[in-house]
């Protein structure tokens, strides 16, 4: 760790003004970090040394530092070290050390258990697509956007989804949104405006983010249990709609059984209800073609939601809602009210990526990579912790391991996060008190991280990892 010499600090800040020394110090440091002259990880001199070097009081130094720590520009570390936070001009993805393979640097926002490996994001292809789209967009597209979405993207997505999700989709059915979270928020508004009521069924367990989104939209969430054939259609309540993950239940990983698909659709059709099909990772099936979208069974009662979050990157905030004719206008209105529409250059870039085949190539590559990682992790678990049962089909970016009790659950979550692997308590994803287990974000688990994850899961499950390789 480089520690800045007090004289370098003076060099960096320039001549000390007569008045407002605190602002000079604070703004100078902030600018130095923002401009990259002070790099992430560099330690500041002690406040005593800095004060002496700059000819100011220790209190002035401490106040400026406190403020910058509050802004996230500096970071307090143990043993009173203050370092430049890892932010603005950080060099591209400093590789995590071998002890933290598949992990994130400390102090960052924790990754979601469903987040893809950023190392697989096709940076070059996306960078080229967005550059070319920006250069070549017709002038007429540089005004306020069409709130429904750029026609070019709706055409490309419709063609892609027809093939990839075996569902009838036309460009006019598609509404471009800033991710599934926004799609659900807008649909929540649409449902709340309908007379049908504000009750909405959700699978239990489910993504806490989805449940929060629906509740924030003013809907009453009614949990429906999930078993090894998917949502229990015999337990469907009277509600205006249901959010379902038929292709790959989140988090349990089961696929909705064929007769349950039919029963679910009948429930929607008979009651004039909507099924919100959260198709979050259906294109990441590793053992066979994914089951077709539910929308194929009844385009009038199924709303298909998807996004690039699992397939490209959640940082892009691009998603789609394929809506029945009866809900489409209200949805477009809600999108207009929310933000007038999505970024046109980004929409055009995504349309290009689909149209020129780069998206399909990326999906093939990502599937292969994740399939390989999942295989190695499951093999290691089967070999070294055979008592543990991993649930769900060969798909997606996460896996679920049941654990005996609260204590085991808490230990597993903490230990996994400690080594930088995203993890959530299964009980925390249950609306009603549910079983205990851990949902592991496996997208980045590879190399030496595999053995660590196996060891942690085995320990939490009350078994010793039996590997001789360790």
- Show contacts with a second copy in window 256-285 (CB under 8 A): none
**Site for a second copy (CB under 8 A): how many residues?**
93
Select the residue interacting with a second copy from 15, 18, 78, 139 (CB under 8 A): 139
Q: How far apart are CA 171 and CA 323, in angstroms?
A: 11
Q: How far is the CB of 320 from a second copy (least distance, A)?
A: 14
Q: Which is nearer to a second copy, 148 or 233 (CB)?
A: 148
Query: Is position 91 an interface residue for a second copy (rule: CB under 8 A)?
Result: yes
Query: Is position 339 an interface residue for a second copy (rule: CB under 8 A)?
Result: yes
Query: Is position 31 an interface residue for a second copy (rule: CB under 8 A)?
Result: yes
- 88-96, 233-241, 253-261, 457-465 -> range binding a second copy (CB under 8 A): 88-96
Q: How far apart are CA 221 and CA 406, in angstroms?
A: 25
Q: Which is nearer to a second copy, 93 or 404 (CB)?
A: 93
Instruction: Name which of residues 296 to 315 contact a second copy (CB under 8 A).
Output: 309, 313-315
Q: What is the DSSP string of 234-290?
A: GG--S-SEEEE-TTS-TTT-PPPPHHHHHHHHHHHHHHT-EEEEE-TTTT-BSSSPP
Instruction: Name which of residues 343 to 372 contact a second copy (CB under 8 A).
Output: 343-346, 348, 351-352, 354-356
Select the residue interacting with a second copy from 111, 226, 385, 390 (CB under 8 A): 111
Instruction: Name which of residues 156 to 215 contact a second copy (CB under 8 A).
Output: 156, 158-159, 162, 170-172, 177-179, 181-182, 185, 212-213
C-alpha dist (Å) from residue 449 to 60, 84, 460: 44, 28, 16
Query: Is position 93 an interface residue for a second copy (rule: CB under 8 A)?
Result: yes
Q: Which is nearer to a second copy, 343 or 467 (CB)?
A: 343
Query: Is position 119 an interface residue for a second copy (rule: CB under 8 A)?
Result: yes
Select the residue interacting with a second copy from 62, 155, 266, 463 (CB under 8 A): 155
Q: How far is the CB of 346 from a second copy (least distance, A)?
A: 6
Largest CA distance in the chain: 80
Q: How far apart are CA 379 and CA 238, in angstroms?
A: 43
Task: Pick left, alpha or beta for residue 93 (phi over 0 → left; psi -120 to 50 → alpha; otherwise beta).
Answer: left
Across 324-449, where does the E strand assignment appear?
390-391, 398-402, 423-425, 437-441
Q: How far is the CB of 444 from a second copy (least distance, A)?
A: 10
Residue 79 burial class via C-beta count within 10 angstroms: exposed 0-12, middle 13-18, buried 19 and up:
exposed
- For the stretch 421-425, contacts whose Cβ atoms lie closer than 8 Å and that sit 24 or more positions apart, written own/partner, are 421/102, 421/103, 421/445, 421/449, 421/452, 421/453, 422/110, 422/111, 422/112, 422/113, 422/115, 423/113, 424/113, 424/208, 424/251
Q: How far is the CB of 356 from a second copy (least distance, A)?
A: 7
Q: How far is the CB of 314 from a second copy (least distance, A)?
A: 5
Q: Which is nearer to a second copy, 133 or 224 (CB)?
A: 133
Across 103-259, where does the E strand assignment appear?
174-177, 199-204, 220-227, 230-231, 241-244
Select the residue interacting with a second copy from 127, 325, 368, 382 (CB under 8 A): 127
Query: Is position 98 an interface residue for a second copy (rule: CB under 8 A)?
Result: no
Instruction: Name which of residues 427 to 456 contact a second copy (CB under 8 A).
Output: none
Q: Which is nearer to a second copy, 3 or 123 (CB)?
A: 123
């Amino acid at each position: 760790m480089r520690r800045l010499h007090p004289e370098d600090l003076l060099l960096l800040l320039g001549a000390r003004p007569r008045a407002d020394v605190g602002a000079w110090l604070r703004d100078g440091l902030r600018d130095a970090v923002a401009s990259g002259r002070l790099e992430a990880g560099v330690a500041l001199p002690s406040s005593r040394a800095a004060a002496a070097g700059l000819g100011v009081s220790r209190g002035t130094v401490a106040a400026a530092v406190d403020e910058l720590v509050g802004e996230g520009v500096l970071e307090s570390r143990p043993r009173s070290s203050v370092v430049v936070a890892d932010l603005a001009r950080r060099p591209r993805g400093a590789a995590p050390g071998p002890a933290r393979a598949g992990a994130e640097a400390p102090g960052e926002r924790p990754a979601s258990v469903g987040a893809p490996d950023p190392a697989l994001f096709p940076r070059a292809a996306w960078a080229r697509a967005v550059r070319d789209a920006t250069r070549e967009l017709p002038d007429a597209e540089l005004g306020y956007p069409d709130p429904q979405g750029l026609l070019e993207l709706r055409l490309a997505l419709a063609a892609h989804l027809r093939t990839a999700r075996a569902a009838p989709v036309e460009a006019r059915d598609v509404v471009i949104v800033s991710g599934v979270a926004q799609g659900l928020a807008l649909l929540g508004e649409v449902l709340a405006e309908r007379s049908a009521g504000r009750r909405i069924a959700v699978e239990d367990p489910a993504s806490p983010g989805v449940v929060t989104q629906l509740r924030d939209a003013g809907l009453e969430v009614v949990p429906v249990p999930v078993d090894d054939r998917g949502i229990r259609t015999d337990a469907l309540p009277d509600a205006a709609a249901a959010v379902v993950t038929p292709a790959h239940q989140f988090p349990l990983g089961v696929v909705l059984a064929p007769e349950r698909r039919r029963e679910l659709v009948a429930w929607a059709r008979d009651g004039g209800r909507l099924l919100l099909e959260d198709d979050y990772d259906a294109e990441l099936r590793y053992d066979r073609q994914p089951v077709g979208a539910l929308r194929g069974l009844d385009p009038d009662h199924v709303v298909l939601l998807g996004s690039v979050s699992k397939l490209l990157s959640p940082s892009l905030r691009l998603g789609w809602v394929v809506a029945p004719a009866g809900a489409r206008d209200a949805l477009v209105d809600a999108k207009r009210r929310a933000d007038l529409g999505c970024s046109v250059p980004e929409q055009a870039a995504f349309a290009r990526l689909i149209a020129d085949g780069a998206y399909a190539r990326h999906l093939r590559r990502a599937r292969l990579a994740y399939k390989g990682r999942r295989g190695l992790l499951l093999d290691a678990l089967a070999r070294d912790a055979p008592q543990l049962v991993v649930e769900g089909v060969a798909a997606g970016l996460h896996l679920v391991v049941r654990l005996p009790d609260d204590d085991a659950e808490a230990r597993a979550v903490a230990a996994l996060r400690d080594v930088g692997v995203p993890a959530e308590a299964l009980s925390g994803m249950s609306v009603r008190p549910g079983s205990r287990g851990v949902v592991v974000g496996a997208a980045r688990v590879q190399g030496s991280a595999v053995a660590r994850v196996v060891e942690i899961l085995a320990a939490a499950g009350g078994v010793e990892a039996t590997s001789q390789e360790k």
